[in-house]
Structure 1
Amino acid sequence: MRALVHEPRRPQRKELEHQLSRARIDAHFVDDDLLGSEINHLRDLADDSTGIILGGGADFCGRIRAIRQAGCTNPLLVLLDQRKASDIEAALDLGADDAISWPVRGTEILSRLNSILRRAHGHAGECVQIGELTAFFDGRDPIVSGTRISLSRREHTIFQHLVLNFGKVISKNAIYDAVYGMSADQPFDKVIDVYICKLRKKIAATSASGYHYIETVHGRGYKLSPPEDAGAAHVERGQARPKGRHYRPVRA
């Protein structure tokens, strides 16, 4: 999980940096003078997999309003100084997706952002099962044919982006932006092909069928999909109506 974080107050920022690092959230902190430009950059990337964490402070309402008026639809979590019903109501009414109060834990922030993100993509449950592959939305490595495979942080970011958009073609540029969009270190886009190749090898080496599950759609990008003969994909969606021929609910 990547996050754009605004918390100008030094004591809160230091503690927040510690908590987010422990939760393995790739946090990019910005100050007041750069918040607007970073929000516009995030909007232009059209990458909704990056969360926004906004410190409470005196004018959190104005900042929430500015973020949404800028057209940025990314998951937005507000950290309030006190748990006051009026502040929570104001944050949610202005466009925040969730609000919690200090003291905060990085693991709770991660869980809340993941919940917002997966529901925005139509996934109600904690995981999606695609043939032999089980992918989790909470940061756990995937399970293939009953065996968990270990992914690097970059591999996991790419895999998670494909999972959230299961069945859809995702361009290489969109994947690149999801991984490196806010990073000062931006390698050539060929690196995405390298990571895709690594993911395919790990999945194929573990799957009973030998299938890699990541399809290349020439001229358009990549798509996570089951093999034609692997049967239906299982997607846990709560009470949502199943969509498409590869979907049916997972039963516990």
Structure 2
Amino acid sequence: MRIALIEPDTRHAKLVTRLIFAGGHVCQHFTASAPFFNQAADQFFDLLITESWAGDHSAEDVIAHARSILPSLPVIVLMSEPRESQIVAALHAGADDCLIKPVRGPEMLARVDALLRRAGLRRPQNRRRDVIRGYAFDAGNLAVTFGSHTVTLTPKEFRFALLLFSNLSRPVSRAHILETVWARRRDVKSRTVDTHASRVRSKLQLRPERGYSLTPLYGFGYQLDAFPADAAVEAVAASG
């Protein structure tokens, strides 16, 4: 499932994003509601998780606006030490559930799955398919389809690629990559991560002429960026 997370607290957002990804979902993080609304106008999300204060608007306002763009969108509101009146206000505003911060992993994933199940959005785990920026990820077959191409990846390459696409235009640390792709193993050599990044770049044709750039961030990790069509043309011309 594609889940949108509006959370100004980036440290807590990293925790929630990792949990959601571990639960078999794609999570796109926003630090405020405005960029989320811009994305929601062109992309579909199965669930919205928002902080009670979404950086620029209250959750009550965010829910109303989100539902005007994506009718019947399920919403979970995150709250820090909430009073009963705050929970009641969020539920009356249309929230489907509320979670207390910091979230507890198993409880959060159980509530997410229960909410998606009630909304009729449950998919068999081995048939999950996510489409991000024209790239369709088929978890059941470890295959990625883009344009007229379908490429089969290894399990680690698939998890690596999906992690990068789930964090478009955001740096992904090596620690996060190791936790997600190699199940928190710390004995993985640095060049092993680099080799997998190179294979993902090659197999998925993540090149400027296709509108993508996968960049190693020295001493940190990797970042995948997507460019508009005109910017991609300019990048190719500049490289030539």
Which TM-score applies when normalising by structure 2? 0.48
More relative contact order in 1 or in 2 (CA 8 Å, sep 6+)?
1
Could you say which structure has the higher helix fraction?
2
